[in-house]
Structure 1
């Protein structure tokens, strides 16, 4: 297929997706982080369909995705007109962060404009916004001329999808879902979330691939952790954000982490599970061997030992292993260092939520 005819095809597909969104239907779309389940961010009825499809609690806020402005030959990109329909005020810090990291895997939380439906914000007076970097979704957003809410396109609490096939298998039998196929997601874990709504201290609400260290280096802005902020008198609550519940991103197979060289210790936690265990090992390490455990059938799965590579493969690995019928999945504990914090956060929530009964405590 020539590039001309493929771009014509993608234009037709995007026009169809825009029409679906305008009619209040759902469209799954690719981003650089994970696939999103999209609806018109100004349509409360469409937003409710997202919650219903996912089985997501109504007080769990959504991120609104916006188009990056066309750059032309401006030195400064004009983010203010993009944000003004959604947010009440835009600080200098916000502009610096947007100019440094948008479009990209950074979500910013603002005080919301009164026109933003409370359905999108989980009933809060704050709104989370990002401009995704995926070219297909940027084109969709530009043609839609509006914001699109887009939590990960999976059932609530389960492993996030990083391909169009993941989305289709997640919602099989839901006839009214259009899936835009933008290939495999490159970043592989959800965006970093920084709160700019409540104080002079930008606060990290969810770690991701963009770290506080990188933000400081590129913008001079210090990002605080929630525990470092002392609330003012009559203090402001930290906004609830996506992916902040204790159980999340979870496979149906029990998942545990093991410390370096401690695979056996991790196994001894599961006296009944002694048959088929998938053990992920760093690609820089030597093989485990059978570890002298006659009753266990191990299979080794190599995972990247750099944080960016590991993040990119994390959900793909969890999904694939989940579908292979193992009794237990063991992953190595991520090493210390803030570049691993995003991955560590996802793994801890995935472990807590994993196992066949995970639906029971997905809301705890």
Structure 2
């Protein structure tokens, strides 16, 4: 098989999709675009294929994966019967869970259910829950429809590192992995991973990972209140399932990354007196230009980032990857403003800061 099915133009040809489907059926790995980030896909019913994902990423085997499902072609059905599509995977599908599915799928919302007994322990990290989503990207949907099954697909990068939002990112991550097929769907629109909601208890929806779909949007569109883990009883919080992206160190560049408070760039720089050379400082487009004459010994370059939360999210990983490859000694990002529309990027930046630096691989166990 050709080692790479991507070039500068996104590919949608049936022949390429069919080849990717065949690769999945044979137990191979296929990287494909979703609206959030690129995923590293394998047949969710094949334990050996799932093990290949963990090996390729260097991911701990107790860290669960998300199953990706396709909606039937919209021309085939007037209303999608998600309950039937979920039945091979899920036990106890509540009315609230089905309402969330019907409202937000396909889209960047992952739901955690009690798993059907047939679901492999290899993909759940040994837990009795399974995380499922239906990605909205047309290439992901076509691949999943033709595959006619579930595909596990964590982000297509080495474990703990910055997630990929282009096919080129995936190729850079897995250079030398000759049997990996990469489907190029252009740049990802959303840019950060899906929101994860736990509905496995049946009576409360609990936010496990923030994303672009916020609790306020869920409440407005469905009437369902989404609880923060801190809002539930201690015994409920202790029973919450582990999910992707929940480790303290994640999404991390090799260059040290720090956040600065509004107007406090100089304070952030002075905390790192050992760094005297090159610093990249991200600045909101709504802010005035920085004045850094007080630090003549530091070579500072401003990088303008959007003050719109959605636009910021869509470019976050692209910016971190690009800056990481430019040889800076330190990257400074502004602390995201208050407000839950910023919670997704705040979560990613805090974990990225914790894991960043040349020894970031040492943080992966946290």
Q: Identify the TM-score tier after normalising by the shorter chain.
A: over 0.9
Q: Which residue of 1 aligns with 2:6?
A: none
* DSSP 3-state at the match of 2:297: coil
2:342 alignment partner in structure 1:
340
Aligned counterpart for 2:145 among listed residues 137, 142, 146: 142
- For 1:69 and 1:82, the matched residues in 2 are separated by 9
Residue 110 of structure 1 corresponds to 113
Shift of residue 76 of structure 1?
A: 3.5
Mapped contact 2:279–2:332 kept (Cα < 8 A): yes
Identify if the C-alpha distance between structure 1 residues 9 and 181 changes in structure 2 by more than 3 Å, giving closer, same or farther. closer
Distance 1:239 1:7 in 2: 36
Please state how far the C-alpha of 1:80 moved relative to its aligned partner: 1.0
Aligned to 1:123: 126
Q: 1:30: how far off?
A: 0.2
Q: CA deviation at 1:274?
A: 1.5
For residues 78-132 of structure 1, what are the alpha-carbon distances to aligned partners after superposition, in whole Å with 9 as ceiling and x for unaligned? 1011111111121111111111110000000000011111000111110000000
1:110 & 1:9 partners in 2: Cα distance?
Answer: 32
Q: How many residues align?
A: 358
Q: Residues 185-334 of structure 1: matches in 2 within 5 Å?
A: 185-231=188-234, 237-334=239-336
CA deviation vs aligned residue, 1:205-243 (integer Å, no higher than 9, x gap): 00000000000000000000111111569x861000000
What do you get for the CA RMSD once the two structures are aligned? 1.6
Deviation at 1:69, TM superposition (A): 2.3
Offset of residue 7 of structure 1: 11
Per the alignment, do residues 73 and 154 of structure 1 end up closer, same or farther by CA in structure 2, a change over 3 Å counting? closer
Aligned mates of 2:64, 2:353 — CA distance in 1: 23
Q: Residue deviations 1:158-196, cap 9 Å, x none?
A: 000000000000000011100000000000000000000
Shift of 1:270: 1.1
Q: Distance in 2 between matches of 1:182 and 1:165?
A: 11
Report the Cα distance in structure 2 between the residues aligned to 1:67 and 1:339, rounded to whole angstroms: 27
State TM-score, norm by structure 2: 0.95
Deviations 1:25-60 (A, max 9, x none): 000010000000000000000000000000000000
1:62 — aligned with what? 65
Q: Secondary structure at the match of 2:92?
A: coil
Listed as ranges, the gaps of 5+ residues in structure 2 are: 1-8
* Equivalent pair of 1:198/1:236 in contact (CA under 8 Å): no
Q: In structure 2, the residue corresponding to 1:158 is in which secondary structure?
A: coil
Query: Greater CA deviation, 122-131 or 286-295?
Result: 286-295
- What's the counterpart of residue 49 of structure 1? 52
Name the SS of the counterpart of 1:120 in structure 2. Answer: helix
Q: Distance in 2 between matches of 1:9 and 1:260?
A: 44
